[in-house]
DNA sequence: TTGTATGCGTTATCAT
DNA sequence: ATGATAACGCATACAA
């Protein structure tokens, strides 16, 4: 079933069928109807590969996600969902590439096989070979997150430094003097994961500004890690009265550890941080936190990418999100233990 | 950068380059090395669209997921991850289509645009237009889940009826006489979602077999719904001493409601069901549950699909998973309240 | 208003 | 052992 078959049945040339499909040339009403009838009858749709070959574009976006082996966080999943959704609104398909390191076969296929018109790259590190790979290959791309020197590229990111800083100031305003930061996993920090490093920087800055005592710990992205991490924190630093976190997946475990230690939130202990709205609202009591607007960010990433594809020489564009800290019920005045 | 350019630089014809790449024809060592050197130097890789057009296959699988608007459950996410991972092992890319209803543009592109060699379809309903659409279009497909009459198609599924039945029998063995089933959302049930219907059937059968009293309720796929659902259940049926569920996303809320009611698990109340291992182990105490082997199922789906693609006329194949109920710590002997 | 011819980049058949 | 060439299905420049 190809365009020639449609043309034959409709008694016209292939180009006329093509022009009926694209609307790029006037076609008389009668022939158009005749052709359309055949198309509808046979359910014809143009072969995507042939069209891509001819047009030089695939109408497909690549989405590079963290390797499937490690569970995606809710926030990552939110990005994936919103990118796919935004792409669908533009009638674009999304090709998934689970690529962590370099020299990844799937990633290489996407980069160099001309399978996609552009790429959205997730889970960026401060130095990231995939970014240079895409840049040298000349593939338009937008990152969710940014490298250490992101001036030359287009990206959107969450301003973790500012957000964690705001959280610390909020805790300081409530009288807390000894606060902790629960970061992401030690592996991510070691790998140069930007949000972790920037959150830590913001934490230290704010702690210094307010003359607080701050302790920071790494924590795996899951419930058991969160529980172990906070249990250990309470044992090693009993003077800590509040915690800020960017590790939403650890929240249930953190809550469990606090409960096991007999600490009520926010009466005995305050919790705040950066999280997907869903996690903040699932916390008990609802978490005072900066809600990351994942859906908006995914849509924005696609939007920037489409601009980049349309105008390959254009200037890089950025968007740094610093959503306000939503006051809910998990932070309160310090009450010394 | 195309194959002609490589041929020119290496001083050979395009076909020789092609044969070096495919290995389908003997090429002398010297010319092969010369060509390979040029390929490596320029980082050449064949244009995927041209290759797909010529070969008649795209080396791409389609994965139809529930619409992005609704959050994916952990189990769904596990399927997605394992399908993508399994496809990558076969050097196949995965095209995502978030399609719930019919007449979905993204779905239509995939089905009829020859963008993929085969499709994995998730979140199947008992009667599902997408299945008939794929069948009439002649696209090889495998479903995760099955329709009401799945004999003619290839699928893998979780045997919810058997698993929930086992859970009920386990509870009956422990002396529970009044048990409840927490199902998925009312919308899913109304839409003819297979797992919900089959779980309910298994529940009713087992309840009858053991002469128990059973009550079943629908519940949204999130923490608040789980909490509200169990709170309501306890209020309306205070005689219930145990619950089985297939709604893993509601588990944290269910736990919260039990805790709020002053019921300890498993001392005062038993909880069991079907869940991803991750959810079972995150429960407090660890949940006695049938662990759905998502990773294995995704890999199996890809495997079946590849068979189907290789032998289009082959007989349909099925695989029904009934993993054993893992005894953990959330079920215990009944203790009347 | 419509038809003809060309080329996108690749693989495979035929010829040398 | 290698080269010339046709064909995959489409979009479009050019012709009529």
A247 and A139: one domain? no
- In strand C, the nucleotides that come within 7 Å of a protein beta carbon are 1-5, 7-13
On the question of pLDDT at B241 being above 90, the answer is: yes
Of A48, A67, A95, the CB nearest to B113: A48
Taking the CA of residue B212 and the nearest CA in chain A, the distance in Å comes to 34
Count of CB contacts below 8 A, A vs B? 134
Of A50, A69, A95, the CB nearest to B95: A95
pLDDT (tens, 9 = 90+) of chain A, 337 residues, equals: 899 999 999 999 999 999 999 999 999 999 999 999 999 999 999 999 999 999 999 999 999 998 866 677 778 888 998 999 999 999 999 999 988 765 689 999 999 999 999 999 998 999 999 999 999 999 999 999 999 999 999 999 999 999 999 999 999 999 999 999 999 999 999 999 999 999 999 999 999 999 999 999 999 999 999 999 999 999 999 999 999 999 999 999 999 999 999 999 999 999 999 999 888 988 989 999 999 999 899 999 999 999 999 998 889 999 999 999 999 999 999 986 6
A299 and A208: one domain? no
Q: Is A135 within the bounds of a domain?
A: yes
B287 and B182: one domain? yes
A106 token code pair? 């799937």
pLDDT in tens, B190-204: 999 999 999 999 999
Show the DSSP H helices in chain B as ranges.
3-10, 14-22, 29-42, 48-55, 74-89, 105-112, 129-137, 160-173, 186-190, 194-209, 223-236, 251-260, 277-282, 294-310
Q: Which residue of B has its CA nearest to A87?
A: B106
A273 token code pair? 């941080």
Q: Residue A22 maps to which CATH number?
A: 1.10.260.40
Give the total number of structural domains in chain B: 3
Which residues on B lie below 8 Å from A281 (Cβ)?
Answer: 224
Does A328 contact B at CB distance below 8 Å?
Answer: no
Rounded, the Å distance between the CA of A53 and C1' of C8 is 5
B97 token code pair? 């289509």
Residue with the two structure tokens 């105008």: A311
Does B110 contact A at CB distance below 8 Å?
Answer: yes
Chain A segment 73-102 residues within 8 A of B by beta carbon are 77, 80-82, 84-85, 88, 91, 93-98
B170 and B282: one domain? yes
Q: Is B230 within the bounds of a domain?
A: yes
Distance, in Å, from the CA atom of B53 to the CA atom of A175, rounded to the nearest integer, reads 67
B277 and B170: one domain? yes
3 state SS of B257: helix
What number of other Cβ atoms are within 10 A of residue B97's Cβ? 26
Angle between helices B29-42 and B3-10 in degrees, nearest 10? 130
Q: Is B264 within the bounds of a domain?
A: yes
- Count of positions (residues) in chain B: 337
Q: Is A187 within the bounds of a domain?
A: yes
Distance, in Å, from the CA atom of B18 to the CA atom of A165, rounded to the nearest integer, reads 57
Q: Residue A139 maps to which CATH number?
A: 3.40.50.2300
Give the pLDDT score at A324.
96
A203 and A182: one domain? yes
Distance, in Å, from the CA atom of A177 to the CA atom of A45, rounded to the nearest integer, reads 66
Are the C-beta atoms of residues A172 and A207 closer than 8 Å to each other?
no
Taking the CA of residue A98 and the nearest CA in chain B, the distance in Å comes to 7
Distance, in Å, from the CA atom of B298 to the CA atom of B295, rounded to the nearest integer, reads 5
Are the C-beta atoms of residues B184 and B219 closer than 8 Å to each other?
yes
Q: Is A55 within the bounds of a domain?
A: no
Rounded, the Å distance between the CA of A68 and C1' of D8 is 35
Q: Is A231 within the bounds of a domain?
A: yes
Taking the CA of residue A1 and the nearest CA in chain B, the distance in Å comes to 10
A127 and A70: one domain? yes
- In strand D, the nucleotides that come within 7 Å of a protein beta carbon are 1-5, 7-13
Does B222 contact A at CB distance below 8 Å?
Answer: yes
B236 and B276: one domain? yes
Residue B91 phi/psi, 5-degree rounding, is 60, 35
B184 and B152: one domain? no
Closest-CA residue to B246 (of B334, B166, B127, B147)? B166
Give the pLDDT score at A115.
96
Q: Is A52 within the bounds of a domain?
A: no
Distance, in Å, from the CA atom of A107 to the CA atom of A186, rounded to the nearest integer, reads 25
A131 token code pair? 């970014």
A95 token code pair? 């090709």
Of A68, A108, A252, the CB nearest to B84: A68
B41 and B112: one domain? no
A287 and A312: one domain? no
Contact A95 B93 (CB under 8 A): yes
What residues make up the domain containing B286? 160-292
Any idea what the Cα angle at residue A221 is, between residues A215 and A225, rounded to 5°?
65
Q: Which residue of A has its CA nearest to B85?
A: A68
Between the CA of residue B330 and those of A223, B264, B283, B327, what are the distances in Å?
A: 17, 10, 8, 8
Contact B98 A110 (CB under 8 A): no
pLDDT band at B337 (very low <50, low <70, confident <90, very high): low
A164 and A269: one domain? yes
Distance, in Å, from the CA atom of B309 to the CA atom of B306, rounded to the nearest integer, reads 5
Does A69 contact B at CB distance below 8 Å?
Answer: yes
Q: Is B32 within the bounds of a domain?
A: yes
Give the pLDDT score at A337.
65
């Amino acid at each position: 079933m190809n365009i020639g078959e449609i043309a034959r049945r409709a008694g016209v040339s292939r180009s006329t069928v093509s022009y009926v499909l694209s609307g790029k040339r006037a076609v008389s009403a009668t022939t158009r109807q005749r052709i359309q009838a055949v198309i509808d009858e046979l359910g014809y749709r143009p072969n995507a590969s042939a069209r891509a070959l001819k047009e030089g574009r695939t109408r497909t976006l690549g989405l590079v996600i963290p390797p499937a082996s490690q569970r995606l966080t809710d926030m990552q999943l939110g990005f994936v969902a919103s990118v796919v959704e935004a792409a669908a609104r533009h009638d674009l398909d999304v090709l998934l590439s689970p690529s962590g390191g370099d020299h990844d076969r799937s990633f290489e296929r996407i980069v160099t096989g001309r399978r996609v018109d552009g790429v959205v790259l997730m889970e960026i590190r401060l130095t990231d070979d995939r970014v240079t790979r895409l840049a040298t290959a000349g593939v338009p791309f937008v990152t969710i997150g940014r490298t250490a020197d992101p001036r030359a590229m287009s990206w959107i990111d969450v301003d973790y430094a500012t957000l964690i800083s705001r959280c610390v100031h909020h805790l300081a305003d409530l009288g807390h003097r000894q606060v902790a930061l629960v970061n992401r996993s030690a592996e991510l920090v070691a790998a140069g994961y930007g949000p972790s490093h920037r959150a830590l920087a913001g934490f230290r800055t704010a702690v210094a500004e307010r003359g607080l005592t701050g302790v920071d710990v790494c924590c795996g992205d899951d419930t058991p890690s969160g529980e172990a991490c906070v249990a250990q924190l309470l044992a090693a630093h009993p003077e800590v009265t509040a915690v800020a976190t960017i590790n939403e997946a650890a929240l249930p475990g953190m809550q469990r550890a606090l409960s096991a230690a007999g600490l009520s939130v926010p009466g005995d202990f305050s919790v705040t941080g950066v999280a997907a709205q869903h996690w903040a609202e699932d916390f008990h009591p609802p978490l005072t936190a900066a809600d990351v607007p994942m859906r908006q960010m995914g849509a924005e990433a696609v939007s920037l990418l489409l601009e980049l594809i349309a105008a390959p020489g254009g200037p890089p564009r950025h968007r740094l999100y610093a959503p306000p800290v939503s006051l809910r019920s998990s932070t309160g005045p310090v009450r010394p233990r």
